[in-house]
């Protein structure tokens, strides 16, 4: 129970800290994150390099969309991408992609009355 409370407290503290940082794309150490990558298929000969390549590609895509993404989505996804295991640009990108088309944070549109 103490371990669960500690995880919750750390997660909450980390999430609150992300609000100030989420204006810029976070910096993850992808080499360290990918160090323990396992092969996904028998043909996967170098899973660490594949992981690094995927993370670098996701980081480039995030750089292109970051400033145009809602701040609340950036904060939520940044926290989520760092909660379990090693931080991941791939996880962050997938999270933000799930929010695409979500207009719940956009101001309501006024309709013109004829």
Q: Which mean pLDDT values do the consecutive 10-residue runs of the chain (114 residues) have? A: 48 51 86 92 92 96 95 95 90 94 55 52
- What is the value of pTM for the model shown? 0.69
For residue 66, the model assigns a pLDDT of 97
For residue 7, the model assigns a pLDDT of 44
Which whole-number Å values give the CA distances from 34 to 45, 58, 82, 106, in the listed order?
14, 14, 14, 36
For residue 49, the model assigns a pLDDT of 95
For residue 40, the model assigns a pLDDT of 86
- In terms of Cβ atoms closer than 10 Å to its own Cβ (0-12, 13-18, 19+), residue 66 is middle
């Amino acid at each position: 129970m103490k371990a669960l409370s500690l995880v919750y407290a750390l997660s909450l503290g980390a999430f609150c800290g992300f609000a100030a940082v989420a204006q810029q794309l976070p910096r993850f150490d992808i080499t360290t994150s990918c160090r323990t990558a396992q092969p996904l298929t028998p043909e996967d000969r170098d899973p660490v390099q594949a992981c690094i390549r995927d993370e670098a590609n996701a980081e480039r895509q995030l750089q292109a969309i970051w400033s145009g993404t809602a701040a609340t989505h950036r904060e939520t996804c940044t926290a989520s991408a760092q909660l379990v295991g090693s931080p991941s640009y791939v996880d962050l990108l997938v999270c933000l992609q799930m929010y695409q088309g979500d207009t719940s944070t956009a101001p309501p549109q006024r309709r013109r009355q004829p």
